[in-house]
Structure 1
Amino acid sequence: MSAVLNVPAAAPAAAAAHFAARLSFETDVSDVHADLESGERGIVVVDVRSSESWRQGHVRGALHLPAARVAARAPEEIPRDVTVVTYCWGPGCNGATRAALEFARLGYRVKEMIGGFEYWAREGFAVVTASGVERRPADPLTAPAAGISCGC
């Protein structure tokens, strides 16, 4: 018996609804990078990690707003007519999810950047550190060695 087919795949309409819903809640580092590079004004990228983590490295153009402070600071710092994109350390951390929930409760449109800061850095995108801007080589397990886009 097939391990994959032990539970049958969803009907195409149900699958389409599921995957469309996922894309309405999540975005990836490549798409965020493309929007930041193009100057897209419809998003605000929010790093929800601690100050120590922020200083260690963060996405250029991100706003620093630790998850525990979202409710207190967001209404004064982030316009209501943008989509907020939250990120934390990486796939093993749910800080971005908790912050996204808080933004949603405050009435913001919000998406979580899957992969977080870990995959941002692993894909070779520029990071801001206490020493300035640096770019690490792309990890060939997460991004093509010849470029910054997987082409999907």
Structure 2
Amino acid sequence: MTTALAASAVLSVPAAPSADAVAHYAGRLAFEADVSDVHADLTAGVAGVVVVDSRAQVAWDQGHIPGAVHIPTARIAELAPELVPAGATVVTYCWGPGCNGATRAALAFARLGHPVKEMIGGFEYWVREGFAFDTAHGADRRPVDDLTAPRTGISCAC
């Protein structure tokens, strides 16, 4: 008796050769940083990293990452020379995964010659992972969303 094998959605397109996969994933990491890594660098006071919130003033006032620099995308060319040290790696963020504002800001910084990464997840995931944030009315923090991070608030160390 022959058993029919089910068609695989995963294997319907073969995985890339290992060398291609290495180039792809290394490339992604060269362009992106996640919320936990940005938090770790800010907490450790790592030199040479500048986190930039590219949203409008009303969004900044609603909440932003402590230590971030506020430069709305439309003003990057004007304000970056005075607010971002030459040679610093810029990490841009916007609202979250449904917004490409951080991508637009990263492009603007790259056009100015800055090394740049985009913080994936944006401000949304910063808040969902339970990290403190500043508002126009002071500091705030929300409980960890256990769909984004361990309930303990301790890094998943992935």
Q: Which of 82, 87, 90 pairs up with 1:81?
A: 87
The match for 1:122 is 128
Deviations 1:8-36 (A, max 9, x none): 00001110110000000000000000000
Q: Among residues 44, 68, 71, which one is paired with 1:65 in the alignment?
A: 71
Given candidates 147, 155, 158, the residue that maps to 1:149 is: 155
Q: For residues 74-121 of structure 1, give each alpha carbon's deviation from its aligned partner in whole angstroms, at most 9, with x where no partner exists.
A: 122211211000000000000000000010010000000000000000
8 Å Cα contact 1:26-1:111 kept in structure 2: yes
1:25-55 per-residue CA deviation (whole Å, 9 max, x = no partner) reads 0000000000000001110000000000000
Count of residue pairs brought into register by the alignment: 152
Structure 2-normalised TM-score?
Answer: 0.94
SS at match of 1:58: coil
Provide the secondary structure at the position in 1 that maps to 2:14.
Answer: coil
Give the match for residue 47 of structure 1.
53
Q: SS at the partner of 2:33?
A: strand
Gapped regions of structure 2 (runs ≥ 5): 1-6
Would you say 1:21 and 2:27 are equivalent positions?
Answer: yes
> Aligned AA for 1:5?
L
CA distance in 2: counterparts of 1:85 and 1:147, whole angstroms: 23
For structure 1, the 5+ residue unaligned runs are: none
Instruction: Provide the aligned C-alpha RMSD in A.
Output: 0.7
Look at both structures and tell me which one has the larger radius of gyration over its CA atoms.
2
Q: TM-score, normalised by structure 1?
A: 0.98
Instruction: Describe the SS at the equivalent of 2:13.
Output: coil
Counterpart pick for 1:5 among 1, 4, 11: 11
Structure 1 distance, partners of 2:98, 2:149, is 19
